[in-house]
Structure 1
Amino acid sequence: MHNFQEQRADTFETFAKVGRGVKLPKTAVVVYEFVAEEVDTAWAAVEKALRAKGFKTSHAGDVLQARIGPIAIDAETVWQWERAATEIVLPFEFYPDGWELDDA
Protein backbone atom coordinates (compact mmCIF):
# COMPACT_ATOMS: atom_id res chain seq x y z
CA MET A 1 0.00 0.00 0.00
CA HIS A 2 1.27 3.46 -0.90
CA ASN A 3 2.22 5.81 1.94
CA PHE A 4 0.74 9.21 1.05
CA GLN A 5 1.81 10.73 4.39
CA GLU A 6 5.45 9.96 3.64
CA GLN A 7 5.13 11.29 0.09
CA ARG A 8 3.54 14.51 1.41
CA ALA A 9 6.29 14.89 4.01
CA ASP A 10 8.93 14.54 1.26
CA THR A 11 7.28 17.28 -0.78
CA PHE A 12 7.06 19.66 2.17
CA GLU A 13 10.67 18.88 3.13
CA THR A 14 11.79 19.67 -0.42
CA PHE A 15 10.08 23.06 -0.20
CA ALA A 16 11.71 23.77 3.15
CA LYS A 17 15.18 22.98 1.76
CA VAL A 18 14.80 24.71 -1.60
CA GLY A 19 13.11 27.75 -0.11
CA ARG A 20 16.24 28.57 1.88
CA GLY A 21 18.51 29.12 -1.06
CA VAL A 22 16.40 29.68 -4.14
CA LYS A 23 13.75 32.22 -5.00
CA LEU A 24 10.82 30.24 -6.35
CA PRO A 25 8.45 31.66 -8.95
CA LYS A 26 4.89 32.44 -7.90
CA THR A 27 3.56 30.14 -10.62
CA ALA A 28 5.08 27.53 -12.91
CA VAL A 29 4.44 24.29 -14.72
CA VAL A 30 5.22 21.33 -12.47
CA VAL A 31 6.41 18.01 -13.88
CA TYR A 32 5.61 14.92 -11.82
CA GLU A 33 7.56 11.78 -12.66
CA PHE A 34 6.34 8.22 -12.22
CA VAL A 35 8.15 4.96 -12.89
CA ALA A 36 6.42 1.95 -14.43
CA GLU A 37 6.66 -1.13 -12.26
CA GLU A 38 5.92 -3.51 -15.14
CA VAL A 39 7.59 -3.71 -18.54
CA ASP A 40 4.27 -4.44 -20.25
CA THR A 41 2.26 -1.51 -18.94
CA ALA A 42 -0.87 0.29 -20.14
CA TRP A 43 0.77 3.52 -21.32
CA ALA A 44 -2.20 4.72 -23.35
CA ALA A 45 -4.69 4.11 -20.54
CA VAL A 46 -2.67 5.83 -17.82
CA GLU A 47 -1.92 8.82 -20.04
CA LYS A 48 -5.60 9.10 -21.00
CA ALA A 49 -6.59 9.08 -17.31
CA LEU A 50 -4.07 11.81 -16.50
CA ARG A 51 -5.10 13.96 -19.48
CA ALA A 52 -8.74 13.69 -18.38
CA LYS A 53 -7.71 15.52 -15.18
CA GLY A 54 -5.80 18.26 -17.02
CA PHE A 55 -2.26 16.86 -17.11
CA LYS A 56 -0.10 16.84 -20.22
CA THR A 57 1.80 13.60 -20.52
CA SER A 58 4.87 12.11 -22.13
CA HIS A 59 7.07 9.12 -21.49
CA ALA A 60 10.50 7.77 -22.26
CA GLY A 61 11.72 4.36 -21.22
CA ASP A 62 9.92 3.43 -18.02
CA VAL A 63 9.37 7.05 -16.86
CA LEU A 64 6.03 8.80 -17.26
CA GLN A 65 5.90 12.57 -16.95
CA ALA A 66 2.69 14.39 -16.02
CA ARG A 67 2.77 18.18 -16.39
CA ILE A 68 0.27 20.59 -14.86
CA GLY A 69 0.10 24.33 -14.80
CA PRO A 70 1.06 26.90 -14.46
CA ILE A 71 -0.01 26.42 -10.85
CA ALA A 72 0.85 28.30 -7.65
CA ILE A 73 4.26 27.25 -6.38
CA ASP A 74 3.77 26.50 -2.72
CA ALA A 75 4.03 23.21 -0.88
CA GLU A 76 0.30 22.67 -0.44
CA THR A 77 -0.65 23.31 -4.08
CA VAL A 78 2.18 21.20 -5.47
CA TRP A 79 1.23 18.43 -3.05
CA GLN A 80 -2.48 18.55 -3.99
CA TRP A 81 -1.64 18.00 -7.67
CA GLU A 82 0.99 15.40 -6.80
CA ARG A 83 -1.52 13.42 -4.79
CA ALA A 84 -4.12 13.66 -7.56
CA ALA A 85 -1.66 12.37 -10.16
CA THR A 86 -0.40 9.63 -7.85
CA GLU A 87 -3.94 8.42 -7.16
CA ILE A 88 -4.49 8.17 -10.92
CA VAL A 89 -1.30 6.26 -11.73
CA LEU A 90 -1.09 3.78 -8.83
CA PRO A 91 -3.77 1.42 -10.21
CA PHE A 92 -1.70 1.25 -13.43
CA GLU A 93 1.35 0.17 -11.39
CA PHE A 94 3.29 3.41 -11.69
CA TYR A 95 5.04 4.83 -8.66
CA PRO A 96 6.07 8.42 -7.83
CA ASP A 97 9.66 9.37 -8.48
CA GLY A 98 9.62 13.08 -7.64
CA TRP A 99 8.74 16.34 -9.31
CA GLU A 100 10.41 19.46 -10.64
CA LEU A 101 9.54 22.83 -12.03
CA ASP A 102 9.49 22.90 -15.82
CA ASP A 103 12.22 25.22 -17.01
CA ALA A 104 10.84 25.45 -20.55
Structure 2
Amino acid sequence: MSHDYKAQKAETFESFEAFAADAPEVAIITYQFYPEDIDANWDGVQKALQDRGFRTNRDDEDELLDAMIGPLKISADVIWQHEKIATEIALKFDFTPDGWGLLEE
Protein backbone atom coordinates (compact mmCIF):
# COMPACT_ATOMS: atom_id res chain seq x y z
CA MET A 1 0.00 0.00 0.00
CA SER A 2 1.36 3.42 -0.90
CA HIS A 3 1.65 6.26 1.58
CA ASP A 4 -1.01 8.99 1.44
CA TYR A 5 1.12 12.15 1.26
CA LYS A 6 -1.91 14.28 0.42
CA ALA A 7 -3.64 13.32 3.69
CA GLN A 8 -0.40 13.74 5.65
CA LYS A 9 0.11 17.23 4.21
CA ALA A 10 -3.49 18.20 4.98
CA GLU A 11 -3.06 17.02 8.58
CA THR A 12 0.19 18.99 8.93
CA PHE A 13 -1.39 22.20 7.66
CA GLU A 14 -4.47 21.67 9.85
CA SER A 15 -2.32 21.02 12.93
CA PHE A 16 -0.19 24.08 12.26
CA GLU A 17 -3.19 26.34 11.75
CA ALA A 18 -4.61 25.22 15.10
CA PHE A 19 -1.75 26.90 16.96
CA ALA A 20 -0.20 29.23 14.36
CA ALA A 21 -0.83 32.33 16.46
CA ASP A 22 1.27 30.85 19.28
CA ALA A 23 3.93 29.23 17.11
CA PRO A 24 7.50 30.49 17.49
CA GLU A 25 8.91 32.44 14.57
CA VAL A 26 12.05 30.28 14.54
CA ALA A 27 12.34 26.75 15.92
CA ILE A 28 13.84 23.30 15.56
CA ILE A 29 11.34 20.92 13.97
CA THR A 30 11.26 17.39 15.33
CA TYR A 31 9.60 14.67 13.25
CA GLN A 32 8.79 11.38 14.94
CA PHE A 33 8.76 7.95 13.34
CA TYR A 34 8.15 4.50 14.73
CA PRO A 35 9.48 1.23 13.32
CA GLU A 36 7.08 -1.18 11.65
CA ASP A 37 9.31 -4.16 12.36
CA ILE A 38 11.17 -5.46 15.41
CA ASP A 39 14.28 -5.84 13.23
CA ALA A 40 14.10 -2.26 11.92
CA ASN A 41 17.26 -0.85 10.34
CA TRP A 42 17.85 1.96 12.83
CA ASP A 43 21.40 2.62 11.67
CA GLY A 44 20.37 2.81 8.02
CA VAL A 45 17.48 5.20 8.55
CA GLN A 46 19.53 7.42 10.84
CA LYS A 47 22.41 7.62 8.34
CA ALA A 48 20.04 8.40 5.46
CA LEU A 49 18.32 11.16 7.46
CA GLN A 50 21.66 12.59 8.61
CA ASP A 51 22.87 12.63 5.01
CA ARG A 52 19.94 14.98 4.28
CA GLY A 53 20.75 17.34 7.15
CA PHE A 54 18.62 15.91 9.96
CA ARG A 55 19.94 15.18 13.43
CA THR A 56 18.55 11.94 14.82
CA ASN A 57 17.84 10.39 18.17
CA ARG A 58 16.24 7.10 19.12
CA ASP A 59 14.66 6.39 22.47
CA ASP A 60 16.08 3.82 24.89
CA GLU A 61 13.39 1.26 24.11
CA ASP A 62 13.80 1.50 20.30
CA GLU A 63 10.18 2.55 19.98
CA LEU A 64 10.55 6.02 18.48
CA LEU A 65 12.97 7.86 16.20
CA ASP A 66 13.28 11.65 16.25
CA ALA A 67 14.56 13.48 13.17
CA MET A 68 15.34 17.13 13.92
CA ILE A 69 16.17 20.00 11.60
CA GLY A 70 16.69 23.68 12.16
CA PRO A 71 16.42 26.16 13.60
CA LEU A 72 14.23 27.30 10.73
CA LYS A 73 11.75 30.12 10.14
CA ILE A 74 8.46 28.37 10.88
CA SER A 75 5.47 28.09 8.57
CA ALA A 76 3.21 25.25 7.50
CA ASP A 77 5.05 25.13 4.16
CA VAL A 78 8.48 24.83 5.82
CA ILE A 79 7.26 22.13 8.20
CA TRP A 80 5.75 20.16 5.33
CA GLN A 81 8.77 20.57 3.03
CA HIS A 82 11.06 18.85 5.55
CA GLU A 83 8.40 16.43 6.76
CA LYS A 84 7.96 15.06 3.23
CA ILE A 85 11.72 14.54 2.82
CA ALA A 86 12.03 12.81 6.20
CA THR A 87 8.95 10.67 5.55
CA GLU A 88 10.20 9.54 2.13
CA ILE A 89 13.45 8.42 3.75
CA ALA A 90 11.83 6.78 6.77
CA LEU A 91 9.32 4.81 4.70
CA LYS A 92 12.17 3.21 2.73
CA PHE A 93 13.36 1.71 6.03
CA ASP A 94 9.85 0.69 7.21
CA PHE A 95 9.44 3.56 9.67
CA THR A 96 6.04 5.26 9.84
CA PRO A 97 5.49 8.98 10.55
CA ASP A 98 3.99 9.77 13.94
CA GLY A 99 3.80 13.56 14.06
CA TRP A 100 6.02 16.56 14.57
CA GLY A 101 6.74 19.23 17.14
CA LEU A 102 8.56 22.53 17.49
CA LEU A 103 11.34 23.35 19.92
CA GLU A 104 12.04 27.02 20.36
CA GLU A 105 15.71 27.90 20.72
- Return the TM-score normalized by structure 2: 0.92
Misfit runs of 4+, over 3 Å: none
Letter in 1 for 2:37: E
The CA deviation at 1:15 is: 1.2
Letter in 2 for 1:32: Y
Aligned-partner Cα distance in 2 for 1:23–1:17: 9
Deviates most, 29-38 or 57-66: 57-66
Q: CA-atom RMSD, angstroms?
A: 1.1
Percentage identity across aligned positions? 42
Aligned pair count reads 102
The CA deviation at 1:23 is: 2.1
The CA deviation at 1:4 is: 0.2
Q: Does the aligned pair in 2 maintain the 1:39–1:62 contact within 8 Å?
A: no
Per the alignment, residue 63 of structure 2 pairs with 62
Letter in 2 for 1:9: A
Letter in 1 for 2:50: R
Secondary structure in structure 1 of the residue aligned to 2:78: helix
Q: Does the aligned pair in 1 maintain the 2:24–2:104 contact within 8 Å?
A: no
- Return the TM-score normalized by structure 1: 0.93
Q: Does the aligned pair in 1 maintain the 2:32–2:64 contact within 8 Å?
A: yes
Secondary structure in structure 1 of the residue aligned to 2:39: coil
The CA deviation at 1:6 is: 0.3
Per the alignment, residue 72 of structure 2 pairs with 71
Secondary structure in structure 2 of the residue aligned to 1:66: strand
Aligned-partner Cα distance in 1 for 2:35–2:63: 5
After superposition, what is the alpha-carbon deviation per residue over 1:22-52, rounded to whole angstroms, capped at 9, x for unaligned? 4221111010000100011111110000000
